[in-house]
Chains A and B, each alone.
Chain A
Amino acid sequence: MHLNQDERDMLEGKHGIGVANAMKILVGIGEAFQAEKMSKVSRVHISLSNQEGDLWFVKKLVEGGAKCKVMSTVNPAFNKKYFEKICTFSPQELEVHKETQNAYKKIGIVPTFQCTPYFENNVPRFRETVAFAASGASCFVNSVYGARTNRESSQSALCAAITGVTPLYGFLLDEKRKGNVLIEVNAEIKNDFDFQLLGYAVPQKMGSGVPVFCGIEKEPSKEAFMNLSTELNVHGVIPMFHVLGMTPEAKTLDDCFHGEKPKKVIEIKNEDLDQVRKTLSAGKGEISFVILGCPHLTISQIKEVAQMVEGRKLKTELWIFTSYLNKELSERMGLAEVISKAGGRIVEDSCVDQPIWAHMEGKKGLTESPKCAYYVAKRKMKLIVRSLQECVQAAIEGEVR
């Protein structure tokens, strides 16, 4: 691939070994995807994970003297100050946490610790070239804003932050943003939760590609788009979708398919969503906990929870994961107090997939997020997926019907 003088200098180590390493990885990716050249990026989101692989890689770059050239927000790890009072961490977990925080600080990220950067702090404009990791976030900014990003790995996004460039291929090009599978939604899509089910069902039916949804009549809420972007990328690899008449590159079907015919047409019926519901939502009886906020709940969702629990005493633990800004807003709005009085918790800067659930091992609970259920299962908890409202109701009643 063609590199300009500045890019060659970086590759050859003139800006240090860390920058050279980052460039080497980007050139490797560029060659894999037959990119002709690099493209400048204006903003980055890194899916920091506070795991050993993540730490090993960022440390290697830090040791090589690398620094972020471009503004980069990051995903959450866990809020140590908060969880220290509740959990017992192993010395190794604390060490990984400390080193991760230090390494990312040294490399110069903006410590947002939020998995929905597209709502706050890192909002790209239409056609802006960016490098977003966090598969749900990449999909959201591509699809809903019409910004341009590949479905970056956390590491390739970090390399872009350090060098200021990313290979020009894939979803940075007009051609690749073309829809190729038409999804005819002939199912009732009534609420935000139905978009979780839709996002779960579609990749199983279509495989990979760029789906174009038609038949969604009601304008999806921002939470619905958040759910859809996230779930399309749990059991699938869907970096972008179009919703006919609603997303910015989808005025008409011709717009979506660039004047061509779809390669596949897939119908989603009520039965398909019921099938997903059967897989994810089965189970009844007593529960011990409810976990909400994968991805982080929005302030509107927190408000809804507060309205439901106001004046009640919860029978199970209720965990709400959100951004530091929404946490602050929930305090200003009095929602945090209502939720806390009922026995619920709102925690910022944290991800559900972290070593914070030792006290829940072997127990059964609910979540509104299929992604949470899929990943947190590794932590030996049994999770049933229901809508946000059903989850909160179950926390009030201590059981799920």
Chain B
Amino acid sequence: MKRADFLKFSCRNVTGGKVAGEAVLTNEAINFYLVDPDSGKIIEEGHGLEGESISDKIIVFPSDKGSSVVQLDGLFLAAEKGNKPKAFVVKELSTVLVSNSIIMEIPLVCDVEGQFYEVIQKGDWVEIEADELLIKQKNK
């Protein structure tokens, strides 16, 4: 891929690290306990991502939700089955999400430039390195 095909955005890479993967998106907070470890699919009834897999994906979502311990278990079991997400791109940080991201070694990014949210689509290729986030759009 030519780098010229990429759109570039500034961001804050909270836990450091370099990562690349396909994006999944939601406007709803995610509770990582309600993920089926065997498939990596979200199983929360009525959630916008219900039935979608987060395995190996860069998840673009506003924030996490849920109590203080169970989400680690959801991520841990998914990781055991090889279904850990690649990275978290969020609007708001929580202590729970930050500590889970450090403990499970899942890169966490926030404060992405506003325009990012206007162009990002499901299935786009995302690369994160230092404080920069790049998108290769799927349909362009």
Q: Which residues of A contact B (CB under 8 A)?
A: 24-25, 28-29, 31-33, 47-49, 51-54, 56-57, 75, 133-136, 138, 150-157, 170, 208, 233-237, 353, 371, 375, 377-378
| B98→A53 contact, CB < 8 A | no
Tell me, in angstroms, the Cα distance from A150 to B93 when the chains sit together.
Answer: 12
**Closest A-chain residue to B96, C-beta based?**
A153
Tell me, in angstroms, the Cα distance from A383 to B78 when the chains sit together.
Answer: 26
Take A29-B98, A33-B98, A135-B67 as given contacts and tell me if A53 and B77 are in contact as well, using a CB distance cutoff of 8 Å.
yes
Among B26-51, those with CB < 8 Å from A are 29, 33-34, 43, 45
B95 close to A (CB within 8 Å): yes
Tell me, in angstroms, the Cα distance from A75 to B70 when the chains sit together.
Answer: 12
| A28→B76 contact, CB < 8 A | no
| A29→B99 contact, CB < 8 A | yes
| B69→A48 contact, CB < 8 A | yes
Tell me, in angstroms, the Cα distance from A107 to B92 when the chains sit together.
Answer: 32
B83 close to A (CB within 8 Å): no
Residues of A within 8 A of B68 (CB): 47, 133-135, 138, 151-154, 157
Min CB gap B16→A, angstroms: 9
| B72→A53 contact, CB < 8 A | yes
A-B contact pairs, 22 of them (CB 8 A): A29-B99, A33-B98, A47-B67, A49-B69, A51-B76, A52-B77, A52-B80, A53-B75, A54-B69, A54-B72, A57-B103, A133-B68, A135-B67, A153-B99, A153-B100, A154-B68, A155-B103, A236-B65, A237-B92, A353-B70, A371-B67, A378-B43
Tell me, in angstroms, the Cα distance from A53 to B104 when the chains sit together.
Answer: 10
Tell me, in angstroms, the Cα distance from A81 to B1 when the chains sit together.
Answer: 61
Residues of A within 8 A of B22 (CB): none
Which of B29, B34, B72, B98 is within 8 Å of A28, CB to CB? B98
Take A29-B102, A33-B93, A153-B96 as given contacts and tell me if A49 and B70 are in contact as well, using a CB distance cutoff of 8 Å.
yes
| B65→A51 contact, CB < 8 A | no
Q: Which residues of B contact A (CB under 8 A)?
A: 14-15, 29, 33-34, 43, 45, 63-77, 80, 92-96, 98-100, 102-103, 108
Tell me, in angstroms, the Cα distance from A348 to B80 when the chains sit together.
Answer: 32
Residues of B within 8 A of A138 (CB): 68
Residues of A within 8 A of B63 (CB): 208, 237
Which of B34, B65, B99 is within 8 Å of A155, CB to CB? B99
Residues of A within 8 A of B34 (CB): 378
Tell me, in angstroms, the Cα distance from A111 to B33 when the chains sit together.
Answer: 25
Tell me, in angstroms, the Cα distance from A29 to B33 when the chains sit together.
Answer: 21
**Closest A-chain residue to B62, C-beta based?**
A207
Min CB gap B55→A, angstroms: 17
| B73→A51 contact, CB < 8 A | yes
Take A32-B15, A53-B76 as given contacts and tell me if A150 and B95 are in contact as well, using a CB distance cutoff of 8 Å.
yes
| B67→A233 contact, CB < 8 A | yes
Take A28-B15, A32-B15, A156-B99 as given contacts and tell me if A75 and B69 are in contact as well, using a CB distance cutoff of 8 Å.
yes
**Closest A-chain residue to B43, C-beta based?**
A378
Tell me, in angstroms, the Cα distance from A371 to B67 when the chains sit together.
Answer: 10
Take A32-B93, A53-B77 as given contacts and tell me if A134 and B99 are in contact as well, using a CB distance cutoff of 8 Å.
no
Tell me, in angstroms, the Cα distance from A377 to B31 when the chains sit together.
Answer: 14
| B73→A52 contact, CB < 8 A | yes
Residues of B within 8 A of A233 (CB): 66-67
Min CB gap B33→A, angstroms: 8
Interface centre among B45, B64, B71, B99 (most CB of A within 10 A): B99
Min CB gap B102→A, angstroms: 4
Interface centre among A51, A136, A170, A236 (most CB of B within 10 A): A51
